[in-house]
């Protein structure tokens, strides 16, 4: 039986991606991190305190109303948000993998 090749996505790979994006933002001023914050509605790696740890002002995208900073501060870090969203999908993927293997085994036993 041929199996399709799917790149492995893991929580570790996701965390490494976020850490790399944060590093590029703080060291090279790349904007990928800002895009991540806007799309995920999160702030910093572990929350707004991450900015302070790097001696930076909290970015305007960390506020619910970015235009005048009058909105409330988003306190959830992007790393935690992504892990909370990723973990249930990871469990589901593992369950489906084992289910598929079980069905394949059952089919082989019956024939």
Question: What CATH class has 11-83?
Answer: mainly alpha
CA distances from 12 to 15, 21, 72, 87 (A): 5, 14, 30, 11
Cβ atoms of 77 and 44 closer than 8 Å:
yes
Please state the rounded mean pLDDT for residues 64-81.
Answer: 82
pLDDT one-digit tens code per residue, 16-60: 888 899 999 989 888 999 999 999 999 999 999 999 999 999 999
The CA-based angle 58-78-15, given to 5 degrees, is 125
Output the average pLDDT for the chain: 82
CA-to-CA distance for 67 and 108, rounded, in angstroms? 62
Confidence band, pLDDT 50/70/90 cuts, at residue 6: very low
Query: Given a cut of 70, is residue 7 above it in pLDDT?
Result: no
Locate the domains of the chain by residue range. 11-83
pLDDT score, position 111: 63
């Amino acid at each position: 039986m041929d199996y399709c090749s799917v790149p492995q996505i893991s929580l570790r790979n996701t965390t490494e991606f976020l850490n790399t994006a944060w590093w590029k933002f703080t060291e090279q001023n790349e904007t990928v991190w800002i895009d991540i914050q806007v799309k995920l509605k999160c702030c910093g790696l572990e929350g707004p305190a991450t900015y302070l740890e790097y001696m930076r002002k909290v970015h305007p995208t960390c506020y619910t109303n970015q235009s005048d900073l009058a909105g409330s501060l988003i306190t959830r870090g992007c790393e935690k948000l992504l892990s909370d969203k990723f973990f249930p999908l990871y469990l589901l993927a593992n369950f489906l993998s084992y289910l598929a293997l079980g069905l394949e085994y059952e089919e082989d036993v019956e024939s």
